[in-house]
Amino acid sequence: MTLRVLFLLMLCAGVPLTASASDLPMPERGPALRIQGSNTIGAALGPALVEGLMKEQGLLKVHSETPDKANEQRIVGQTAQGRRVVVEVAAHGSSTGFTALKNACADLAASSRPIKDSELAGLKSLGDLKSPAAEQVIAIDGLAIILHPQNPLNQLNTEQLARIFSGEAATWEELGGRGGPIHLYARDDQSGTYDTFKELVLSRRGKTLDSAVKRFESSEQLSDAVSLDPQGIGFIGLPYVRQAKAVAIVDGQSQAMLPLNSLIATEDYPLSRRLFFYLPPTGKNPWAEALVAFAQSSKGQAIVAANGFIAQTVQAMSVTPNALMPEGYQALSRHAQRLTVNFRFEEGSATLDNKARQDLARVLDYIKQHDKANREVTLVGFGDAKNDPARADLLSKLRAMAVRRELVKSGVVFREIRGFGAEMPVAANSADEGRIKNRRVEVWVY
């Protein structure tokens, strides 16, 4: 059985994914694997996953080497026979990963935002990179809005962020703060972090980034610059807050949310995002397949967490009821715990998206391991606002039932299926991105 067939069977069956060391070829010359793309992934997480895979392979003396070019590194191991095995990681921004795939300069693209339609079309010769086996969510991240530690502001909404980074709000006094002119810091145009911020904040409001902003290829350098500038503000991936101060974010009618692990794991935090590996369906590199499988395994997800990102490991969390919740939801929160996963759907569809398909296996494992399969689980659906509230209620329940259909196949008997319509939005309904986030299904266990 080939590694690819084994990988797909394990993925579809919900078996925890682990790489098979003995099946991987050790090239006599050149790198075993070339990864290009996101700096957010490539700076530390990608190399750490590669090191973990190499050690699981049984390779010896695994270490990192830094060539002369910035934001690039080689992960090196050695076979028992003394043969050197090299994986190259270039972290110059998400878009560069897709360009490298097109130019046959990479075997795997790392991206901190979904592939764009134009990139998908340009890579059609490599197969469908939106297929479940090709588009692999390896971690969840949150874009933190960071200030100088002494800045008194604790909360901003996405409308204010758009005005700030487009240059329309030029002073801290306009936002109720103090300090005079606002100094802007942002990642460069190749960055998935910038693409995500542009999509979630600027483009939704028809705005563009102010030309006066200071741009950085390095996440660490950007964060450190903001932490030293009392008038500074920037956006950064969650592990790179460092010495700066992160503020709570409001989107539309959502509650103010800090970039907390639990809110990012469920993707409720307004500036949460997914981190991806894109594995071309044709001409696969077996090392790329093995790395994807390792990243999805429990060992791989432990490395995700150790590097400051949010692992997709399912856990139960208590939710404190408050007056803003519907009465039925308050009652649920008093008697049950919520799992740290939300099921979401493809745009304009009742079909579970690729991450949700992966999460089905993770949730099922949790249910079985904790003996919750017999009427100990409730599914709760939500949706975006409709002209007819009754329609919103119905659609939210239908989404929950779509998840139920998949889990019932594995013997789960549910206590209840609930729909709360458009209540408790986690994002503004004024744009497609917000509506997609609001169309979600939560899992609660007793």
In the chain, domain spans: 3-134+279-306, 142-263, 314-445
Pairing of strands 183-187, 232-237: parallel
Confidence at residue 75, expressed as pLDDT on a 0 to 100 scale: 98
Question: What's the mean pLDDT in 40-59?
Answer: 96
Distance, CA of 82 to CA of 287 (rounded, Å) = 19
Cα separation values, 398 from 89, 218, 336, Å: 43, 44, 22
Task: Calculate what percentage of the chain has a pLDDT beyond 90.
Answer: 80
Q: What count of residues does the chain have?
A: 446
Tokens found for residue 240: 């790179």
Task: Please state, as a whole number, how many other Cβ atoms lie within 10 Å of the Cβ of residue 320.
Answer: 8
Tell me the pLDDT tens digit for each residue of 365-416.
999 999 999 999 999 999 888 878 888 889 899 999 999 999 999 999 999 9
- Beta-bridge mates of residue 439: none
Where residue 236 falls among pLDDT bands split at 50, 70, 90? very high
Question: Residue 124: which of 282, 289, 331, 336 has the closest Cα?
Answer: 282
Tell me the pLDDT tens digit for each residue of 109-128.
999 999 999 999 999 999 99
The residue written with tokens 């006094």 in the block is 173
Contacts of the segment 68-73: beta carbons below 8 A, 24+ positions apart: 70/217, 70/218, 71/39, 71/42, 71/43, 71/217, 71/218, 73/47
Report DSSP state, residue 59.
Answer: -
Question: Residue 444: which of 323, 334, 355 has the closest Cα?
Answer: 334
Confidence at residue 20, expressed as pLDDT on a 0 to 100 scale: 43
Instruction: Give the max Cα distance, the chain.
Output: 69
Question: What's the mean pLDDT in 294-303?
Answer: 97
Question: Residue 446: which of 365, 332, 314 has the closest Cα?
Answer: 332
302 pLDDT exceeds 60? yes
Tokens found for residue 104: 């046959």
Pairing of strands 416-419, 377-382: parallel
10 pLDDT exceeds 80? no
**What is the architecture, at CATH level 2, of domain 3-134+279-306?**
3-Layer(aba) Sandwich (3.40)
Statement: 314-445 belongs to CATH 3.40.50.1100: no
Question: Residue 101: which of 247, 277, 313 has the closest Cα?
Answer: 277
130 pLDDT exceeds 80? yes
Question: What's the mean pLDDT in 420-445?
Answer: 88
273 pLDDT exceeds 70? yes
**What is the architecture, at CATH level 2, of domain 142-263?**
3-Layer(aba) Sandwich (3.40)
Domains 3-134+279-306 and 314-445 share a fold: no
Phi, psi of 42 (to 5 degrees): -75, -20
- The whole-chain average pLDDT of the chain stands at 92
Instruction: Of 31-35, 39-43, 101-105, give the lowest mean pLDDT range.
Output: 39-43
